Chains A and B, each alone.
Chain A
Amino acid sequence: MAGSIRIRATLTGDVAEVKALMRHPMETGQRKDSAGNKIPAHFITEVKATSGDKTVLQAHWGAAVSQNPFLSFRIKGAKAGDTVKVQWLDNKGQTGAGEATVK
């Protein structure tokens, strides 16, 4: 399931509210497991949202973001039927993506 993003985009007027829920452990690298071994850092470093060809949001994330992050943002000038795509890249080079149609 790693790598999946659940996205919803709802339109109010010309503003689309996008809600994205990402499946990711977001390990800080500071924690130890029950056996006392350090759990290696594993977190999302970059998030990018695009609508059509246009990048609407770009963010650098770090270890302070929670597990299974929830991201909500608004796109001005959106139309019904637009596609919104959200992608992430983590410190291990893994990627995840998901897309939704604005409704």
Chain B
Amino acid sequence: MSAKSGFVPLLRTLSVCSLLFAVAAEAQDDPFAEYREMMGDDNPAIFVIEEGAELWTKPQGPKQASLEQCDLGLGAGVVKGAYAQLPRYFDDTRQVMDLEGRLIHCMVSLQGRDRSDILRKPYSGTGDMGTELEALASYVADQSMGMPIATPQDHPAEKATYAMGKELFFYRAGPYDFSCATCHRQDEKRIRLQNLPNLTAHANAGEAYSSWPAYRISQGLVRTMGWRMQNCAKQQRLPQLLPGSEAVISLITYMSVNGSGTEMAAPGLKR
């Protein structure tokens, strides 16, 4: 009798404990999901999107032209849905280009600006409040919100770019003998608190691709897909990847094609 009455409260205590543990484990798993929930539809990236929209229509450079005639793949000046269908082959440059590469191309060809000037500081450093490229990328990406990733694979050059991206993804190099695949080809892996997406798998690749550009809470800045690639290469101690370079475009193509069909949700909100 006394043994039984002692048992029930013990069971209760146990179940409360396991409940608490479950809640704590969930919060530990993804504190950023909680943060996102708290923020609701508010994302500080909205300010950057607004800046990008202004920069898009602002006459700049020696030619005092805006970017409104820039062809992002769906015709001159069409921004809606363009990001979801990049990278793609462009007839005028005869190469596959990603968003950042194309934006730089438009700044050079339409506005008459110097490519090396733009490449001097494409991404923000400590204490910066964002660069032009980051703002423009945010604006263009936002115009594809909710649309499925549909990176074309029709042109032979597009297929070749995907193949090269795949090769680079698995290519081990540098002092650490690292490749992208070292961290990104297995399910359910993490580095410290961060889940590492398996970029060879459709669901993970789509989720990752669709959330860039993203506002990084820890940095107070919007970071672009090109920055993500550059930073990954830096962490692997590989040579610097330049925005719009063949290597970056190939890797981005490999990721976007793997994630095809996933709805765009950029600019996202990340740690």
Q: Flag the segment in A30-38, A53-61, A77-85 that touches B.
A: A30-38
Distance in angstroms from B31 CB to nearest chain A CB is 15
Interface flag for A90 (CB, 8 Å) = no
Distance in angstroms from B53 CB to nearest chain A CB is 11
Interface flag for A51 (CB, 8 Å) = no
Interface flag for B50 (CB, 8 Å) = yes
Q: Which of A1, A26, A68, A72 has the most CB of B within 10 A?
A: A68
CB-based contact A33/B125 at 8 Å = yes
Contact partner of A68 (CB less than 8 A), chosen from B47, B51, B126, B127, is B47
CB-based contact A70/B44 at 8 Å = yes
Tell me the residues in window 18-37 of chain A with beta carbons closer than 8 Å to chain B beta carbons. 19, 21, 23, 25-27, 31-34
CB-based contact B44/A68 at 8 Å = yes
Q: How far is the CA of A25 from the CA of B51 in the complex (A)?
A: 15
CB-based contact B38/A31 at 8 Å = no
CB-based contact A6/B126 at 8 Å = no
Q: Which residues of A lie under 8 Å from residue B126 when comparing CB positions?
A: 31-34, 39
Overall SS of chain B's interface: loop
CB-based contact B46/A6 at 8 Å = yes
A7 nearest in chain B by CB position: B42
Contact partner of A39 (CB less than 8 A), chosen from B39, B42, B127, is B127
Interface flag for A48 (CB, 8 Å) = no
Overall SS of chain A's interface: loop
Tell me the residues in window 24-57 of chain B with beta carbons closer than 8 Å to chain A beta carbons. 38-40, 42, 44, 46-47, 50-51
CB-based contact B50/A1 at 8 Å = yes
Distance in angstroms from B213 CB to nearest chain A CB is 15
CB-based contact A1/B127 at 8 Å = no
Q: How far is the CA of A45 from the CA of B127 in the complex (A)?
A: 19
Contact partner of B127 (CB less than 8 A), chosen from A4, A27, A70, is A27
CB-based contact A21/B42 at 8 Å = yes
Distance in angstroms from B177 CB to nearest chain A CB is 29
Q: How far is the CA of A32 from the CA of B39 in the complex (A)?
A: 29
Q: Which residues of A lie under 8 Å from residue B22 when comparing CB positions?
A: none
Q: How far is the CA of A70 from the CA of B51 in the complex (A)?
A: 19
Interface flag for A66 (CB, 8 Å) = yes
Interface flag for B19 (CB, 8 Å) = no
Interface flag for A8 (CB, 8 Å) = yes
CB-based contact A66/B38 at 8 Å = no
Interface flag for B20 (CB, 8 Å) = no
Q: How far is the CA of A66 from the CA of B216 in the complex (A)?
A: 12
Q: Which residues of B lie under 8 Å from residue A1 when comparing CB positions?
A: 47, 50-51
Interface flag for A87 (CB, 8 Å) = no
Q: Which of A8, A23, A32, A39 has the most CB of B within 10 A?
A: A23
Distance in angstroms from B33 CB to nearest chain A CB is 16
Q: Which residues of B lie under 8 Å from residue A70 when comparing CB positions?
A: 39, 42, 44
Interface flag for B129 (CB, 8 Å) = yes
User: What 8 pairs across the A-B complex have the smallest Cβ distances?
Assistant: A67-B220, A68-B44, A39-B127, A34-B125, A33-B127, A23-B47, A21-B42, A1-B47
11 residue pairs from A and B, CB less than 8 Å apart: A1-B47, A1-B51, A8-B42, A21-B42, A21-B46, A25-B220, A32-B127, A33-B126, A34-B125, A66-B217, A68-B44
Q: Chain B: residues with CB nearer than 8 A to chain A?
A: 38-40, 42, 44, 46-47, 50-51, 125-127, 129, 217, 220
